[in-house]
Amino acid sequence: MDKYPVYENIAEERQIRRGQLPFDVRLHSIGRVPLHYHDFAEVSFVVEGEGTEWCDGHSRAVGEGALSLFLPRQMHKVESVSSERPLRVFCCMFDLSMLVGAADSELYKWMLQEDGQGERFLLLPENERGRFLGIMTDMLDEYRHLRFGRMSLLRTRLVEILVLLARGMKGTAPAVMPVTGRESRLLEDMVHYVHLHFNEPLTLQTMADRFGHSPSYISRYFSRAAGHAFLDYVHHLRTRHAAHLLATTEMSALDIAAEVGFDSYRTFSRVFKRHAGATPSQYRERR
């Protein structure tokens, strides 16, 4: 069990400078990656080996053909079944700004919807694995060479992977009212901001000051467009991360409450029980 989660500064570690493409793709041999999180989204595709992946307090077996999507600041870890047989995994890191735009509005909403199904995972059937391996291999080759149209091709490949992942999952279509144009961009910007700052003091007034609208407008618009009340959405993110910390770390419940953004343990315990169906201590005992 990990003692504390590790924050990875992807932009700094990958030496991604201002003005450069906020993207990185590599093929790794993995024995164990401890519990960690970062501000980038991540797509991982296992091409060889067997192991276990932990995300949001749940574990799942992974092997050849396992395709996972982790959202910004979504805590996760992975470990091979044997140190002598590491997992070979394509890891694609990207900033969500690569998907901001009217053409990708539907995909963006699918990625960030909070419908109680925080996991984005698919075990590809054998007849589909070669296709994904080809996409990942082409993406890695394109990333390594500074050629004309590099950014456009990388973005196209990334969108293709995400769309195929969404199609492969069942029951993922968000039941929200459609929004277009400027409203769609506003929703994307707000949801992105919440995912990066949910563990900080975050209120309707904070959002109003950030995005130049009144608190009442933010409240009405967020509920209509995202399908969830603003505070419920924030609480779901905080609870999801707290559940993972309770299940996979030795942090005290009091420290976890502060880590995920609650300034009161009583509030944390009440909200956690409402969303998870158990108190923090009960949840940890069951794990």
Q: CA dihedral in degrees (191, 195, 199, 204; nearest 10)? A: 0
Q: Which tens digit of pLDDT belongs to each residue from 253-273?
A: 999 999 999 999 999 999 999
Which pLDDT score, from 0 to 100, does residue 118 have?
56
Report the mean per-residue pLDDT for the chain. Answer: 87
User: Per-residue pLDDT for 176 more than 60?
Assistant: no
Last residue of one domain, picked from the residues 136, 168, 200: 168
User: Do both 17 and 150 map to the same domain?
Assistant: yes
Listed in order, strand segments (DSSP E) in the chain are: 6-8, 23-30, 32-38, 41-48, 50-55, 58-63, 66-70, 76-80, 87-94, 120-123
Which pLDDT score, from 0 to 100, does residue 175 have?
46
Which pLDDT score, from 0 to 100, does residue 10 have?
87
Q: Is residue 46 part of a domain?
A: yes
User: Do both 95 and 46 map to the same domain?
Assistant: yes
Which pLDDT score, from 0 to 100, does residue 46 have?
98
User: Do both 164 and 189 map to the same domain?
Assistant: no
User: Do both 230 and 151 map to the same domain?
Assistant: no
User: Do both 13 and 147 map to the same domain?
Assistant: yes
User: Do both 149 and 19 map to the same domain?
Assistant: yes
Most confidently modeled range among 55-64, 108-117, 187-196: 55-64
Most confidently modeled range among 45-54, 94-103, 106-115: 45-54
Q: Is residue 18 part of a domain?
A: yes
CATH number at residue 269: 1.10.10.60
Q: Please give the single-letter amino acid code of residue 158.
A: L
User: Do both 272 and 195 map to the same domain?
Assistant: yes
Question: How many residues are recorded in the chain?
Answer: 287
Domain with 51, as residue range(s), is 6-168
Q: Is residue 175 part of a domain?
A: no
Q: Which tens digit of pLDDT belongs to each residue from 9-35?
A: 888 888 887 778 899 999 999 999 998
Which pLDDT score, from 0 to 100, does residue 173 have?
47
Closest CA to 154 of 173, 134, 133, 138: 138
Number of domains in the chain: 2
Q: Which tens digit of pLDDT belongs to each residue from 135-172?
A: 999 999 999 998 999 999 999 999 999 999 999 986 54
Which pLDDT score, from 0 to 100, does residue 170 have?
64
Which pLDDT score, from 0 to 100, does residue 241 have?
87
User: Do both 161 and 229 map to the same domain?
Assistant: no
pTM: 0.78
User: Do both 144 and 271 map to the same domain?
Assistant: no
User: Do both 198 and 116 map to the same domain?
Assistant: no
Instruction: Please state whether beta strands 6-8 and 32-38 pair in parallel, antiparallel, or not at all (unpaired).
Output: parallel
User: Per-residue pLDDT for 178 more than 80?
Assistant: no
